[in-house]
């Protein structure tokens, strides 16, 4: 097992340990016989709808990636974009702050012989749209559901605010990087300078020139993408739908347990707050924070027996599915790479 694989396995085990530990200590006094009875009567049709909503979340994200990446590679198939999306989901799941998905997708795009500057601009514009729509939808649900925060603790409100500020800062920073070649160049050279200490002097200038050309390519392509208003608005619409499908997942989980007195808007508002709070937790998958925020919000409308089942089902659908299907999506790339290596012998 390679070091990277071992690290990812450890991340997944860490998430499982945190989740199991949280459930144990949070629900240690619960009557598990009652919980089992709730589980026996779960309506699988609604669980299937929740799973479909998660699939549509992935599919719409892959559609956005495909629409942008197609500008760089006309031979790119939608199924390939979907596979790249799922691999990004996997690395988002096993890294703190979901920071691993973008580098993994960048690597996969450059393997298709797409220039790294162009590939970087594709992922940057896509990421800006996604983060911007997260902020926009959160503001909407904050306005609609602000009274619902009255029953939560100060710590939850504080963490939600931190998550919102982080998203806002990220968006502003990325827009500046996309618009200003000088800023992008300065950031790259901050990381490049220590790296060049390990390179022979005669090769350093060539590396600097190559990096400068890639930065120029990245800046030009970013401006070209941002100038394509039709493409931007189309992908913005896809992203809004993507987030709405994701936010609706707990609603179908509740319906599967026979909870019909909690409205869709209330559930989506709670989920938006959960999503924002867990994004500020520096653990893979926001583990710990995700469980805590889910029980804090949905505990206001669910009894302990249904709350623990809802938490487990929600976590399986929204997190562990990304890990499992993302890992499966990596298999074809591995096989293809092995075939290529075998053919080069």
Instruction: Please state, as a whole number, how many other Cβ atoms lie within 10 Å of the Cβ of residue 320.
Output: 17
- Could you read off the pLDDT of 258-311 as tens digits, one per residue? 999 999 999 999 999 898 888 778 788 888 889 988 998 999 899 999 999 999
pLDDT value, residue 317: 97
- 301 domain-assigned: yes
Burial of residue 312, with CB atoms counted within 10 A of its CB: 0-12 exposed, 13-18 middle, 19 or more buried: middle
210 touches 195 (CB < 8 A): no
Cα–Cα distance for residue pair 94/133, rounded to 1 Å: 23
Neighbours of 277 (CB within 10 A): 28
Whether residue 194 lies inside any domain: the answer is yes
- Which residues, other chains included, contact 213 with Cβ-Cβ below 8 Å and sequence gap of 6+? 117
| Counted domains in the chain | 1
Distance CA 285, CA 315 (A): 10
pLDDT at 339: 42
Is residue 344 one of the residues assigned to a domain? no
pLDDT digits (tens, 9 = 90+) for 202-223: 666 666 666 667 677 676 767 7
Domain membership of residue 343 (yes or no) is no
What is the residue range of 314's domain?
A: 3-337
Integer Cα distance of 122 and 115 in angstroms: 11
Whether 313 maps to a domain, the answer reads: yes
Does residue 342 sit within a domain? no
pLDDT of res. 179: 76
Question: Given this model, what pLDDT does residue 176 score?
Answer: 81
Q: For the chain, list residues with pLDDT below 70.
A: 1-5, 146, 148-157, 188-212, 214, 217, 219, 221, 332-345
Asked whether residue 240 is domain-assigned, the answer is yes
User: Comparing C-alpha atoms, which of 230, 239, 240 is closest to residue 61?
Assistant: 239
């Amino acid at each position: 097992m390679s070091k990277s694989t071992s690290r990812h396995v450890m991340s997944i085990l860490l998430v499982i340990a945190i989740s199991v530990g949280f459930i144990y200590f949070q629900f240690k006094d619960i009557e598990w016989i009652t919980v089992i009875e709730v589980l026996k009567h779960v309506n699988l049709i609604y669980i299937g709808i929740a799973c479909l909503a998660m699939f549509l979340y992935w599919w719409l994200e892959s559609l956005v990636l495909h629409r942008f990446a197609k500008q760089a590679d006309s031979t790119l198939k939608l199924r390939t974009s979907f596979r790249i999306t799922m691999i990004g989901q996997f690395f988002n799941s096993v890294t703190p702050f979901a920071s691993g998905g973008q580098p993994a997708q960048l690597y996969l795009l450059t393997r298709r012989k797409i220039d790294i500057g162009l590939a970087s601009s594709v992922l940057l514009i896509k990421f800006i749209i996604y983060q911007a729509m997260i902020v926009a939808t959160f503001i909407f649900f904050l306005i609609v559901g602000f009274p619902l925060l009255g029953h939560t603790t100060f710590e939850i409100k504080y963490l939600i605010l931190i998550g919102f500020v982080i998203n806002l800062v990220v968006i502003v920073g990325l827009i500046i990087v996309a618009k200003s070649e000088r800023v992008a160049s300065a950031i790259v050279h901050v990381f490049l300078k220590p790296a060049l200490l390990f390179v022979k002097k005669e090769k350093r200038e060539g590396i600097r020139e190559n990096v400068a050309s890639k930065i120029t390519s990245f800046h030009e392509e970013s401006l070209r993408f941002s100038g394509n208003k039709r493409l931007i608005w189309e992908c913005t619409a896809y992203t809004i739908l993507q987030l709405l499908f994701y936010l609706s997942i707990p609603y179908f989980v509740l319906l599967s347990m026979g909870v019909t007195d909690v409205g869709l808007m209330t559930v989506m508002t709670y989920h938006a707050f959960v999503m924002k709070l867990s994004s500020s937790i520096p653990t893979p998958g926001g583990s710990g924070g995700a469980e805590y925020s889910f029980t804090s919000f949905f505990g206001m409308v669910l009894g302990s027996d249904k709350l623990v089942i809802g938490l487990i089902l929600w976590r399986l659908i929204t997190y562990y599915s990304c890990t499992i299907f993302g890992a499966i999506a990596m298999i074809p790339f591995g096989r293809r790479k092995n075939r290529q290596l075998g053919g080069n012998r």
